[in-house]
Structure 1
Amino acid sequence: MTKSFAALALVFGLLINNIASAQNDPAAKQILDAVSAKFKTFKAVQSNFTLQVEDGNGKVQGAKKGIVYMKEGKYKVDITGQEIFCDGKNIWTYDKAANEVTITKFDGGQNTITPQKLFTNFYDKDFLYKLNGEKKTGNKVLQEIELTPTDKSKPFHKVYVYVDKATKAITQTKVLEKNGNKYTYSVVSMNGKATISDDFFVFNKAKYPGVEEVDLR
């Protein structure tokens, strides 16, 4: 797994996990529930995003652009240097530079990292969350929700989720690590009416001449 996808996976994975709702901010829960409910109405999604990494001094260490496609339990992520396919049963991770694809079995457990979880049940477990307030950015009003992990052994100490108040959509997520690094995942665009066939989520070896397969299933 390359560093860029590892960072993206971190963003997806960190936001998966239930403290009793009484210990959380009801206003934040209402917003997050609305985001989740809206996303679940989409049959297929195409979303363009950027991933930026900063060090403890605020210096940008890297920035990547990518596209994520989602349909039911399937997804495909295309980020600089890498493509990840998942048909709900298998995961193909293709390294463009090495022309190599690694195949693993998909585990549908609650701790499994999937893009869909970023937009649905990311606040369900292992976090305390609260609404910090609203701020206007351009013509948008963004609601900032702060999440704090209850497990203090985690490498990160804060996650910030920004929700467009009008559209009930996540626009940005920031993960702050204890070492000072910051990962910022920004949604550039989202099409909730995308038309995507099921075979789009399966790695087609014929389209990658000379590709080397590493089957770990």
Structure 2
Amino acid sequence: MRKILFMSMLAGSVAMSGMAQTKTGSLGANDPKAKVILDNVSKKFSTFKTVVANFVLKVEGGNNSVTDSKKGTVYVKGSKYKVNLEGQEIISDNKTSWTYQKDANEVTINNVDQGSTQLTPAKLFTNFYDKDYLYRLDAETTEKGKVYQNIEMTPTDKSKNVFKVIVSIDKKNQNISRMKMFEKNGNRYTYEITNFTPNTNLTDATFSFDPKKYPGVEVVDLR
């Protein structure tokens, strides 16, 4: 669940990688060229009141084989978010979080830890990268005539299971298009955005869990 929550909400348009070029920068210190790109993306996203994005999650094992593929949708409004993934919903109003498992008809409720460094959809609209990651500009890649800027990020907290994240950005539109997460156990999680719509009308009710809409739901309240 935390993997999904961590990954699910990079917003942008679809991208695929192409031919690699020479790497620049160093993960020992933040790359100023990468910072300019990330700042521009953050500034653009900060102008959106809401975001709705459809995505595809691909899970790969250590042998590069795709072991799972799921479609999902993310809704973001300020610090609130909702993630719909096949068989699962993750909802947060920035005070309370709900994780609903469809097959078990069970919802787990937690308080939101305001001091947590965990990457949430809402944080993707800020300069979260300046605090929790080291980053460098990697090779530009090309897919179907589009150029993508790739930024390699490593968590400053080396105890995390994730040791590397590669973010791909559409150079022309300055939209985050894809993110690939690498875990120490060899697993990789890739999120590709298939549709991105800013400033959709989303009510606050979108970001809370109403048990009346889920007959017989089992509630596990961990607050």
Normalization by structure 2: what TM-score? 0.85
Partner of 1:67 in structure 2?
A: 73
2:145 pairs with one of 139, 143, 151 = 139
2:45 pairs with one of 34, 39, 42 = 39
Partner of 1:11 in structure 2?
A: 7
Partner of 2:104 in structure 1?
A: 98
Is 1:211 matched up with 2:180? no
Instruction: Give the % identical residues.
Output: 53
Tell me by how many angstroms 1:119 deviates.
4.3
Partner of 1:17 in structure 2?
A: none
1:58 pairs with one of 51, 56, 64 = 64
Tell me by how many angstroms 1:80 deviates.
1.0
Is 1:24 matched up with 2:24? no
CA contact (8 A) 2:211 2:217 kept: yes
Q: Residues 211 and 110 of structure 1: is their aligned pair in 2 closer, same or farther, counting only changes over 3 Å?
A: closer
Quote the Cα distance in structure 1 between the aligned partners of 2:158 and 2:79.
31
Please list the CA deviations of residues 103-146 of structure 1 after superposition, one character each: whole Å capped at 9, or x if unmatched. 11122224144212234334122432111132211232100111
Correspondence 1:115-194 to 2 at 5 A: 115-194=121-200
CA contact (8 A) 2:8 2:83 kept: no
Superposed CA RMSD in Å reads 2.1
Quote the Cα distance in structure 1 between the aligned partners of 2:212 and 2:161.
40
Quote the Cα distance in structure 2 between the aligned partners of 1:86 and 1:146.
28
Tell me by how many angstroms 1:151 deviates.
4.0
Tell me by how many angstroms 1:177 deviates.
1.8
Quote the Cα distance in structure 2 between the aligned partners of 1:81 and 1:121.
31
CA contact (8 A) 2:117 2:132 kept: no
User: Alignment length, in residue pairs?
Assistant: 206
Residue 49 of structure 1 aligns to a residue in which SS? strand
Runs of 4+ in 1 over 6 A off after TM superposition: none
Residue 24 of structure 1 aligns to a residue in which SS? coil
| Structure 1: stretches of 5+ with no match in the other structure | 14-21
CA contact (8 A) 2:55 2:192 kept: yes
Quote the Cα distance in structure 2 between the aligned partners of 1:163 and 1:90.
31
Taking CA–CA contacts closer than 8 Å with sequence separation of 6 or more, which of the two structures ends up with the larger relative contact order? Answer: 2
Normalization by structure 1: what TM-score? 0.87
Residue 115 of structure 2 aligns to a residue in which SS? coil
